[in-house]
Structure formats: structure tokens, C-alpha cells
Amino acid sequence: MDINTVKKVHVIGICGVATSALAIAFHNKGIKVSGSDKGFYPPVSTELEKTGINFYAGWHPEKMSEGGDPDIIIIGTASGSANPETIYAKEKNIKTYSFAEAIGEFFVKEKSIVCAGTWGKTSSSTLLSFILEKANYNPTYMFGGISLSHESSAKLTDSKWSVFEGDEYKSSPTDNNPKFFYYKPTHLLLSAVSWDHADLYPTEESYFAVFNKLVSDIPEDGLIVYCKDHTGANKILNNYSGHSVTYGKKYDGVDYGYYGVEQNKNGLHFTIENDRKCYEIISPMIGEFQAENITGAFAMASSLGIVTDDVVSAIREFKGLKRRLEKRFEGEGASKKITVFDDIAHSPEKANSVLESLRKIYKGKITVVFEPNIGARRREIVHKYDNAFKFADEVIIPRLTKLKISSDENTPIDGEELNQIISKTHKNSKYIDDDNSLVEYLIENSKDEDIIAFLGAHGFRNMIEETVSKLKNNK
């Protein structure tokens, strides 16, 4: 469908970070947008209110069709086939799209850059889109986070360039194809490939298969930039004969190598070397792992022909994302100088990487509150928890979000069992199933210079806000 023929869009499940950004992108193109969801919460609700988009709680076909039926309806992943608005769309023969299908239909451009991989794809796609914007490429883009340097997480332009976060998870409840298949990459930035989402990919082979397919779809005149430090990425690219560029830690055989990483509470400082030329990199982001993401974005941008001084300047200006080692509180003025971090690290590998960075920066006790994603609650990946929290002094497992499972699925690991698993290699681990008790425990058992890190897939049911509030008021 031609975007110029679309006058009205409705988004079922508009309160997601990605779906709300998509809605705002359509709105900013002059298209009338409405949306519905089960409930609305900041910061997404705040962003929607700023735009003037009409949205409401619950599923009401009569509200959706006020002033005439939508031309298209975008159905978020949380909406099932029994949703009254979905049923109405089918009865009225209104064209419906999943989120990924809508990106593929209306956002993908002639030059499509997709940032994919088990980790790093959100940071890489956000930074890369920012670099291209600063270089006046005016890209269309979409990423699944909230940037501190962009007005929105999605933008639709008339440029020939687009940048997307390429998620390997299923496109909708009825479509198990990975989202990134719809984004038709001509350029691929591949970070790491390590078995994840065991709920959808029950074996390592099935997980690797979708990345092999992604690589095989790159056109002959396309480009793949990949991290040579990761076994999985090398395995995927082992038989690739097209044009490729490598990045990673500096050693012989890598095209863009980074070294000399220094980090403190204010950010990162390191060097990238390419073709015997060295570039000083300064970034306000913290987390040593971000040096790898930055180098990948640098390599892709430079390979596109963007002037390297402009790339360096954009990296220095880019502030990062919410929930990527986001500092939610630093106890100046409070009775306890405790720092609170929030990060979406929802697997044992991601948690380990984040905690390693915090350990290198901070000397106080690190207490981590951890909630895994669906895949990290599968029994097949229990071995990955061995020593995953070695850089933390204390691990707390909260009451885990209840999951909907079909009768043929293995029962996911619950909070008590996860605590027992982690306790095998980490002596100081506990399960606290009451949110208020957990917050009180954090306040009572933290002292000056300590770190509290909330790492996980969900929003922690306002526990972060409660912890920060109590720290601020406990003077």
C-alpha cells in the first residue's frame, strides 16, 4: 500500500515503546492516528499526550471508527485474535499489519541498514541513526528503546536511507518469523550471536538458523559489518563471500579495532584504529561493553563514506538510552550516597556484562535485583547462570511476572527456583516475593557508596521509583 494513500491509522496496543513510536512517526507525517491499550503508563503515555494522538484504555470498535474507519490497523504483539477491535477489522475487511509488517511496508527504504544480534542492537541502531542524522542523511529509523538524544524512537522521512533495530523475536502471536526478515536489509550490522529466546528457539541450531537466513538475504552489492570477537558471529559469517567489514578489540585481522578503554562515572574514553589511523573516542555513556557497540556503529558509518571526524563528533554528542545503565539516582543531598541504576539486562549473559562494568567503576557493595525475560526462564539454559553474578555482592530475585503458557510448554522457572539455581554459584542470593519488603530491604541494607542495580525485562512494578523516593526523602 502506498503511504500517500493512508489517511487514518489505528494502533491496537499503542502503549509499547515501539508501537507508540510508530504511531508518532505516522502522526508526524500528517496522518490521523488513534490507539488503544489495556492501560497507559509513563513515559509512553507522556509522549503520546504531547503529540495530541487520540488514545483510550480498553478495546472499543466504536471509538476506533469515530469519523470513519481507519485505512489500516496495526496490531501489537499483546493483542490476541479475540480482541474486539481485531474482530471488527476482519469483519470490515480493514487491512491489518503486525508491527514488523508495518515497518516493512511503509518504513523500509532503498538503503536499509539493520542492526541485529543477541545484544547491542538497540544501542547500535540508536547511535547509528543519530550519526546519520548529524551527517544530513535524514534517515527513516526505528529502534526499541527511548533515546536521550532523539525526539522519538521512530521517524519516517523521504530519504533513501533507513536504520532499524533488527529483532530476532517473532513478529506476532500468529507469526513466528523474526521481525528482521521484514526489514529487507541491504546493510547489516551484526554484533553477537549467542543462543537466546529459548521459548521460541528450543535449540541453539534453530536460533542460529534465522541469522544464517538473514545473512543469505543480503544482496550481492550489500555490506555486512560484524564483530569478530564473538564466536557466534564468526560462525554465521564463516561461508559468506560478499563484502564484509570486521570490528572488535584491536588485533591483527580486524578492520576497526578499539583499545585503551577507560571508564569512570562520567563516561568512556578509548581509541579506534582503522587502516593505521587512530581516532580518539569520548562518549558520555558508561559500560565498557558500549565501546564495542560504538566501534560497530563507527565502522558502519565510515564504510558508508561519512567523514570520520563527523562520526567522532556525533558519538561524543550522543547521550545514550533509557534503561541502558541509566542512572536513576545518585545520592547527593540524601543521608546515604547510594547510586541506583536501571538496565534492561534480562539474561544471565547481559547481566554479567553490565555488572562487570559497574564493578570496574564503583568500589561499594553492588546489590542487583534481577528479573529474566521469558527465554531466560527456560530450563534448557539453566547452565548459563553459573557465575553470571560473580561481579555482584548480593543478588535479589523479586516476584517474577506471571507468564501465559500453553499446555504443551515446560513450566517456566519461578522466583524461588531461580534463586536456588543462582545460589549454587553465588552464596549471597535471596528471593523476596513482596515488593514493599524488597524496597525496605534495599534501603535498610545499603550504605554510603553502595550500588543498587535493577536489571530485567519488565518495569519492576514501580519498585525503582519507590526506592529512589525513599532515598531522596530519607535525609
Query: Do 97 and 113 belong to one domain?
Result: no
- What pLDDT score was predicted for residue 260? 96
Q: How many domains, the chain? A: 3
Alpha helix stretches (DSSP H) within 37-190: 44-51, 61-64, 84-91, 99-106, 121-134
Query: Do 82 and 229 belong to one domain?
Result: no
CATH number for the domain harbouring residue 251: 3.40.1190.10
- What pLDDT score was predicted for residue 187? 98
Query: Do 345 and 301 belong to one domain?
Result: no
- What pLDDT score was predicted for residue 459? 77
Query: Given phi > 0 = left and psi -120 to 50 = alpha, else beta, which region is 123?
Result: alpha
Grid cell locating 103: 515497518
Query: Do 241 and 127 belong to one domain?
Result: yes
Across 13-17, 30-34, 320-324, the highest mean pLDDT is recorded for: 30-34
Q: What is the largest CA-CA distance in the chain?
A: 64
Q: In whole angstroms, how far apart are CA 357 and each of 74, 84, 319, 338, 416? A: 39, 47, 18, 17, 27
Q: Cα angle vertex 405, ends 402, 406, to 5°? A: 160
Residue where a domain stops, chosen among 39, 74, 101: 101
Query: Do 232 and 280 belong to one domain?
Result: yes
The reported pTM is 0.81
Q: Structural domain of residue 408, as residue ranges? A: 326-473
Q: Cα angle vertex 89, ends 167, 28, to 5°? A: 55
Query: Tens digits of per-residue pLDDT, 450-471?
Result: 999 999 977 788 899 999 999 9
Residue 195 makes CB contacts below 8 A (sequence gap 6+) with 118, 201, 204, 207, 208, 381
Query: Do 131 and 256 belong to one domain?
Result: yes
Query: Do 287 and 339 belong to one domain?
Result: no
If one counts every other C-beta atom within 10 angstroms of the C-beta of residue 332, the result is 7
For the chain, the average pLDDT equals 92
Phi, psi (degrees; rounded to nearest 5) at 201? -115, 90
One-letter amino acid for residue 92 of the chain: K
If one counts every other C-beta atom within 10 angstroms of the C-beta of residue 9, the result is 24
Query: Do 307 and 367 belong to one domain?
Result: no
Residue where a domain stops, chosen among 86, 101, 116: 101
Query: Do 82 and 123 belong to one domain?
Result: no
In angstroms, the CA 167 to CA 169 distance is: 5
Nearest alpha-carbon partner for 394 in 443, 349, 429, 444? 429
Residues in the chain: 475
C-beta separation of 53 from 27 below 8 A: yes
CATH number for the domain harbouring residue 404: 3.90.190.20
- What pLDDT score was predicted for residue 335? 67
Query: Given phi > 0 = left and psi -120 to 50 = alpha, else beta, which region is 420?
Result: alpha
Task: Check residues 325 and 111 and name the one with the higher pLDDT.
Answer: 111
Q: Sheet harboring 451-456: ordered strands across? A: 326-330, 339-343, 451-456, 366-371, 394-398, 429-432
Query: Given phi > 0 = left and psi -120 to 50 = alpha, else beta, which region is 325?
Result: left
**Per-residue pLDDT band at 279 (split at 50, 70, 90):** very high
- What pLDDT score was predicted for residue 216? 95
- What pLDDT score was predicted for residue 33? 96
The yes-or-no verdict on residue 407 having pLDDT over 60 is: no
Query: Tens digits of per-residue pLDDT, 17-56?
Result: 889 999 999 999 999 999 999 888 777 888 888 888 999 9
- What pLDDT score was predicted for residue 463? 93
Query: Do 278 and 337 belong to one domain?
Result: no
Query: Tens digits of per-residue pLDDT, 225-261?
Result: 999 999 999 999 998 999 999 999 998 889 999 999 9
Q: Cα angle vertex 312, ends 308, 314, to 5°? A: 115
Give the distance, in angstroms, between the CA of residue 205 and the centroid of all CA atoms in the same chain: 23
- What pLDDT score was predicted for residue 45? 83
Q: What is the mean pLDDT of residues 112-136?
A: 96
Query: Do 139 and 273 belong to one domain?
Result: yes
In angstroms, the CA 395 to CA 417 distance is: 14
C-beta separation of 214 from 180 below 8 A: yes
- Report helix angle 289-303 to 121-134, nearest 10: 40
Q: What is the mean pLDDT of residues 285-307?
A: 95
Residue where a domain stops, chosen among 317, 334, 349: 317
- What pLDDT score was predicted for residue 378? 87
Q: In whole angstroms, how far apart are CA 395 and each of 54, 276, 387, 422? A: 42, 44, 12, 8
Q: What is the mean pLDDT of residues 396-413?
A: 78
Half-sphere exposure of 385 (CA within 13 A, CB side): 25
Q: Which helix (H) or strand (E) holds 216?
A: helix 204-216
In angstroms, the CA 261 to CA 242 distance is: 31
In terms of DSSP bridges, do strands 223-227 and 244-249 run parallel, antiparallel, or are they unpaired? Answer: parallel
- What pLDDT score was predicted for residue 308? 96
In angstroms, the CA 217 to CA 215 distance is: 5
C-beta separation of 324 from 346 below 8 A: no
Query: Do 298 and 163 belong to one domain?
Result: yes
C-beta separation of 460 from 338 below 8 A: no
**Per-residue pLDDT band at 406 (split at 50, 70, 90):** low
In angstroms, the CA 336 to CA 472 distance is: 9
In angstroms, the CA 165 to CA 180 distance is: 8
CATH number for the domain harbouring residue 61: 3.40.50.720
